[in-house]
Amino acid sequence: MPDSVHPLSNALEDCLEAMLELQDLCGTIRITDIAARLSIAKPTATQAVARLKELGLARQETYGHVELSAEGHERASSVRHRHRLLRIFLSEVLGADAETADREACAMEHALGSETIARIEAFTAGFTKRTSRQDRGPQ
Amino acid sequence: MPDSVHPLSNALEDCLEAMLELQDLCGTIRITDIAARLSIAKPTATQAVARLKELGLARQETYGHVELSAEGHERASSVRHRHRLLRIFLSEVLGADAETADREACAMEHALGSETIARIEAFTAGFTKRTSRQDRGPQ
DNA sequence: ATGATTTGTTAGTAATATCTAACTTTACCC
DNA sequence: GGGTAAAGTTAGATATTACTAACAAATCAT
């Protein structure tokens, strides 16, 4: 492991998450696409990637394409997991509309520790089961 | 109204909240106490208050004591309300320990819109009622 | 009332996250 | 293959939030 569990800023976590999504969606990660996805200017994306490189979470040779390191991929997956979970919680459990759920999931994903995330996960799972069993279900 | 609903940064919302608590606890608001409550250096507190003054949310004559304006008080109350609600939600509904609930409520309070806050409020109220009616309750 | 303590401010620095403008590379097309 | 378009970088500026060190003002206690 390159470095212990340095906490990342919101901006860097968002960048990692965008990178993972782009990886899965396009097969490659480009500065321009990161910038578009996060609605930031390209130089801002360049700089964020530079920081992630310093932290050992990304790799890129100048003017080349960007890659997540193993650790970067892990961190990114964790962020994405939180995001998805919170989105579901906000929409399914609380009844928020899709757009609000996504926006606020993105804001919350940086605020909660893994313990709380696990609690929300369990709670959401229970809620969904309870709710989907319309009236009587299996006993 | 001095200014429309300028969104405030987390730091400024935290400052307003601390000021309101100090107002209620001590009757006065001092830079030193704001700094202590937020665990920031005194010059940082001075600076935050200066910004709040510019925004019409606080009043203070140099070296004098600090006050919330009517609008500042409103905003502060809103932040505190969110904080308290989220703390209850995290501890009562999700079962987080008191310390975690408070810390993460403080982080979440800046991330959620009033609509979502209202949803959490309703949900928590329902949950508490449902849960406190131990087994049978009325009917 | 004066000297020491506490409180508050100023000044200067740093890190983060932004931006725009200008430049350099790379890629693509004919 | 050479020129344009797209992608990426560099440089320089700004705002926010934070700090420490040094100073000024207010309070307090004897």
- Walking along chain A (139 residues) 10 residues at a time, the average pLDDT comes out as 74 98 96 98 98 97 94 97 97 95 95 95 88 60
- Are the CB atoms for B42 and B35 separated by under 8 Å? yes
- What pLDDT, on the 0 to 100 scale, is given for residue A1? 46
- What pLDDT, on the 0 to 100 scale, is given for residue B3? 46
Reduced to 3 states, what is the DSSP secondary structure of residue A27?
coil
All residues at 6 or more sequence positions from B16 whose CB lies less than 8 Å from its CB, including other chains: B8, B52, B57, B58, B68, B72, B75, B76, B79
* Binary contact (A93, B120; C-beta < 8 A): no
Residue B129 confidence class, pLDDT cut points 50, 70, 90: confident
**Which helix (DSSP H) or strand (DSSP E) does residue A12 occupy?**
helix A10-26
Measured from the CB, is A10 under 7 Å from any atom of strand C?
yes
pLDDT for B79 beyond 60: yes
- What pLDDT, on the 0 to 100 scale, is given for residue A130? 79
pLDDT for B58 beyond 60: yes
Instruction: Quote the minimal CA–CA distance from A6 to chain B in Å.
Output: 18
Which of the nucleotides lies closest to B61 (Cα–C1')? C8
pLDDT, tens digit, 9 for 90 and up, residues A13-36 = 999 999 999 999 999 999 999 999
Over residues B81-86, the mean pLDDT reads: 97
Quote the pTM value.
0.90
pLDDT for B5 beyond 90: no
Å separating the CA of residue B63 from the C1' of nucleotide C6: 13
- Are the CB atoms for B57 and B75 separated by under 8 Å? yes
**Average pLDDT along chain B:** 92
Measured from the CB, is A10 under 7 Å from any atom of strand D?
no
Å separating the CA of residue A43 from the C1' of nucleotide C15: 17
* Binary contact (A116, B96; C-beta < 8 A): yes
